[in-house]
Amino acid sequence: MNPPPQTTSITTRSGVRKLSDNLASSSKIPFRPRKIRKVTSNATSEDAIKIKSPQPPLTVSPQIPKSLSEKPEIDLALNHLRHIDPLLATLISAHPPPKLSPCNSPFLSLSKSILYQQLATKAANSIYTRFISLCGNESDVVPSTILSLTPQKLREIGVSARKASYLHDLSDKFSTGVLSDASILTMDDETLFQMLTAVKGIGPWSVHMFMIFSLHRPDVLPVGDLGVRKGVQLLYGLKELPKPAQMEQICEKWKPYRSVGSWYMWRLLESKTKGNGKAQSVEAEQIGGF
């Protein structure tokens, strides 16, 4: 039999109150002793309390996407395509490698692509020559110059009112900083596509041509280009012209050098057909490319 709990008497002004030892012990809440950091008398304030000074933010230079402007990159592309696609390997052996033309400036190339839209090569060349004369020379084709040209002034050299509005919209986006030559050179392909198709008059085909022939981006597949689609049809012996979704599937193996594969589709079409095939290739080359 357990002994009864002992009691403790606490005398207060109001009398004597008895508390159970067990109850008193159960009400105790343990506390961790606080640690007191000792600071020596000869320590300086900097030694006792170390305050980290804010570090300046790291500046990371934008990574420039790969370009076919360098011969080693073209060699890598050709070796990859030969290895991955025997049919394309035969075509590569039958034609010289792509030759790159320098891009003066992205803004100039985009302006030129707008002027050449839906025009025969001879007519487009004539309008472009007059356009350059109106601006002064190619180095004077800058946003401020184009914004100073009224639609009527552009109409006098053969530029339609619609294309004049396209040129002004492009120039406005450059002058306000939405786009710039520097930012275009560093944008990844997906971002660049979204930014450029937001410009009036610049659609997916124009962006793809600009990316291949002006920026020399290595992995662009212009699924809407008739010449490339016909080339794929010829290369693989397809009964029908492949649709854009089929182009993506068929040319998947060309990654990351679909631009070079597309270039050889134009060459294949040139060798197999006359007239339309050559005209399609020349139209693409007017963007300032291979």
Instruction: Report the CATH number at residue 194.
Output: 1.10.340.30
Q: Which of 202, 235, 261 is where one domain is finished? A: 202
Q: How many domains does the chain have?
A: 2
Cis peptide before 244 (omega within 30 of 0): no
Cα distance between residue 257 and residue 220, in whole Å: 7
Q: Taking the chain, what is the end-to-end CA distance rounded to the nearest angstrom?
A: 105
Residue partners of 82: CB distance under 8 A and separation at least 6: 88, 89, 92
| 178 and 236 belong to one structural domain | no
| 121 and 83 belong to one structural domain | no
Q: Which of 176, 202, 228 is where one domain is finished? A: 202
Query: Between these two residues, 194 and 32, which has the higher pLDDT value?
Result: 194
CATH number at residue 273: 1.10.1670.40
| 259 and 124 belong to one structural domain | no
DSSP assigned state of 254: G
Q: Does the pLDDT at position 8 exceed 80? A: no
**Tally of CB atoms within 10 A around 212:** 27
Mean pLDDT, the chain, whole residue set: 82
Tens digit of pLDDT for each residue in 61-115? 556 778 888 889 999 999 999 999 999 999 999 999 998 777 779 999 999 999 9
| Domain assignment of residue 49, yes or no | no
Distances (CA, A) of 183 to 84, 113, 166: 33, 19, 20
Q: Does the pLDDT at position 279 exceed 80? A: no
Residue partners of 264: CB distance under 8 A and separation at least 6: 81, 88, 91, 92, 95, 231
Query: Between these two residues, 64 and 19, which has the higher pLDDT value?
Result: 64
Query: Between these two residues, 45 and 133, which has the higher pLDDT value?
Result: 133
Which residue in the block uniquely carries the two structure tokens 């639609």? 151
**Tally of CB atoms within 10 A around 157:** 17
| 177 and 149 belong to one structural domain | yes
pLDDT tier at 49, thresholds 50, 70, 90: very low
Residue partners of 81: CB distance under 8 A and separation at least 6: 88, 89, 92, 254, 257, 260, 261, 264
| 152 and 121 belong to one structural domain | yes
Query: Between these two residues, 116 and 18, which has the higher pLDDT value?
Result: 116
Cα distance between residue 95 and residue 56, in whole Å: 53
Q: What is the pTM of this model?
A: 0.74
pLDDT of res. 283: 43
Q: What is the signed CA dihedral for 181, 185, 189, 192, rounded to 10 degrees? A: -20
In contact, 167 and 154? CB cutoff 8 Å: yes
| 141 and 275 belong to one structural domain | no
| Domain assignment of residue 175, yes or no | yes
| Domain assignment of residue 161, yes or no | yes
| 143 and 184 belong to one structural domain | yes
| 91 and 136 belong to one structural domain | no
Per-residue tokens: 211:
């990316």
Residue partners of 272: CB distance under 8 A and separation at least 6: 234
Cα distance between residue 286 and residue 174, in whole Å: 22
Query: Between these two residues, 245 and 67, which has the higher pLDDT value?
Result: 245
Per-residue tokens: 76:
């890598």
| Domain assignment of residue 59, yes or no | no
Domain that holds residue 178: 106-202
